[in-house]
Amino acid sequence: MRTTLMVVLACHFLAAFTVLGVPLYLPRLLTSFGIAENSLWAGVLFSLPAVMTALSAAWWGRFADRYGRRLSLQRALVGLTLAFILAGLSSSLPMLIIALALQGVAGGTLAAANGYLSLHMRGEALAKALNWTQFSARLALVSAPPLIGIILMVFSQVGQRLWLGLALLPLIGLVLSLLLPADTIPAVNTRKRASTSGKTTLYSLWAMQWLFNFAMVVTFPYFLPYAGHWLHQEVVIGVLYSWPHLIYLLLLPVWHRLKGAGWFFVPGTLLIAVAALWHTVLDSPASLLAARTLLGVGILLAYSGANQMLSESLSRDNAGKQFGQMDAAGKWAGVAAGVCAGWLAAHFSLQAPYLASAVAAIGAVFIFITSTVRGSTYVSISRRS
């Protein structure tokens, strides 16, 4: 089982590295098409893959339940490979738009990886596996931008051919996926209706996932000008930007020695709210580092609780669809957060997105307290104790 998890994590990391490494440098890559770095096209194309993934994620989840979750993971890796090859060979902006749309439509590697893991793990083991897929995503988020930056610095003429080189990574993931055992569950009727209470729980999880992702992402787009008030070195700002994700990477192996519990979502999300509010009043690099550290601990706790709740609420027959819905919730939250951050920063201040983050985080806690998720979490705790 450990080997299966490691192969899935490798596949996901290779895909995430390609997807998360390029967006930061997209404005520069667009100059190959005669588009200025500050063009509106940069923002539009930045959001396009996420929008297309959000639109298609639930459909691909149903595909995974019906035709196989290993096949769905391989489908996502093939889609990313073809999308990056097309982007690298694009001779015009319309072709690049098609390539980025294909990246979004054929992507969804996180949901596909999680759906496959749900075949082999249940309960706390699955929750910890979901935490590890978040680990691989954050590892890619931390490592991809600087490594790709070095490539662009050393090979300054690489231009859009960068996409061609990165296409090798999901292709390697596809080869690795051949090592995974085939799906072991028999064909099921994916149209079987869920109970009303089960649907209510999933709707609550969907809403909490949306608010949780919104609370995180809305503070990302304008961190550079926000931190520039105290810090004048972009390298230091970059480190502080990534610091919460580094905290997650450093603490998760230690955290996994403890038993998971869904209620961890509450203190984790409250810490995110406190950290966000702290960002609105702090006035020194030391306090900024402390607030970013608090944010990282909050992300760790909140993800741990959210994944525990999700693993305990999954239907084994429809896990692909449910992971697809959760992935879509996260993507739509990211798109909404980007738009909201831009509007707030333009009309109010660079601190305003942090207020929006705190409100969203508190809203997620409110849904937990008032929904059936809380009851099912307590039932799970009592069963294990």
Q: Which of 153, 179, 205 is the last residue of a domain?
A: 179
| CA atoms of 363 and 249, how far apart (whole Å) | 26
| CA atoms of 79 and 331, how far apart (whole Å) | 18
Domain that holds residue 331: 194-385
The reply to whether 235 and 340 lie within a common domain is yes
The reply to whether 10 and 109 lie within a common domain is yes
Q: Using CB atoms within 10 A of its CB, is residue 123 exposed (0-12), middle (13-18) or buried (19+)?
A: middle
CB atoms within 10 A of CB 289: 15
The reply to whether 95 and 222 lie within a common domain is no
Task: Please give the structure tokens belonging to residue 252.
Answer: 């998760």
CATH code for the domain in which residue 162 is found: 1.20.1250.20
Confirm if 95 and 163 have CB atoms less than 8 A apart.
Answer: no
- For 254-312, strand residue ranges (E) read none
User: Does the residue 61 lie in any domain?
Assistant: yes
The rounded mean pLDDT for the chain is 82
Residues 6+ apart with CB under 8 A from 89: 95, 164
Query: What is the DSSP code (8-state) at residue 173?
Result: H
| CA atoms of 14 and 10, how far apart (whole Å) | 6
User: Does the residue 187 lie in any domain?
Assistant: no
User: Does the residue 324 lie in any domain?
Assistant: yes
**Measured in whole angstroms, how far is the alpha carbon of residue 125 from the centre of its chain?**
20
The reply to whether 201 and 328 lie within a common domain is yes
Q: Which of 144, 179, 214 is the last residue of a domain?
A: 179
108: left (phi over 0), alpha (psi -120 to 50) or beta: left
The reply to whether 248 and 303 lie within a common domain is yes
Highest mean pLDDT among 105-114, 119-128, 227-236, 289-298: 289-298
User: Does the residue 186 lie in any domain?
Assistant: no
- Rg (the chain; Cα; Å): 20
**Measured in whole angstroms, how far is the alpha carbon of residue 354 from the centre of its chain?**
19
pLDDT in tens, 320-352: 677 777 777 888 888 888 888 888 888 888 899
Name the amino acid, one letter, at 8.
V
The reply to whether 209 and 324 lie within a common domain is yes
Q: How many CA atoms lie within 13 A of 198 on its CB side?
A: 13
In this predicted structure, the answer to whether residue 376 has a pLDDT above a threshold of 70 is no
User: Does the residue 371 lie in any domain?
Assistant: yes
pLDDT in tens, 202-239: 778 888 989 999 998 888 878 878 887 777 776 777 78
pLDDT in tens, 140-162: 888 888 888 788 878 777 777 88
The reply to whether 267 and 170 lie within a common domain is no
| CA atoms of 366 and 348, how far apart (whole Å) | 26
Residues in the chain: 385
The domain tally of the chain equals: 2
pTM of the full structure: 0.78
Residue from 268, 158, 206, 201 nearest 54 by CA:
206
Q: Which of 179, 205, 233 is the last residue of a domain?
A: 179
User: Does the residue 283 lie in any domain?
Assistant: yes
The reply to whether 332 and 266 lie within a common domain is yes
In this predicted structure, the answer to whether residue 381 has a pLDDT above a threshold of 50 is no
Please calculate the CA angle 127-304-178 and round it to the nearest 5 degrees: 40
Q: Using CB atoms within 10 A of its CB, is residue 314 exposed (0-12), middle (13-18) or buried (19+)?
A: buried
CB atoms within 10 A of CB 129: 22
Confirm if 70 and 180 have CB atoms less than 8 A apart.
Answer: yes
| CA atoms of 130 and 110, how far apart (whole Å) | 9
In this predicted structure, the answer to whether residue 164 has a pLDDT above a threshold of 80 is yes
In this predicted structure, the answer to whether residue 306 has a pLDDT above a threshold of 80 is yes
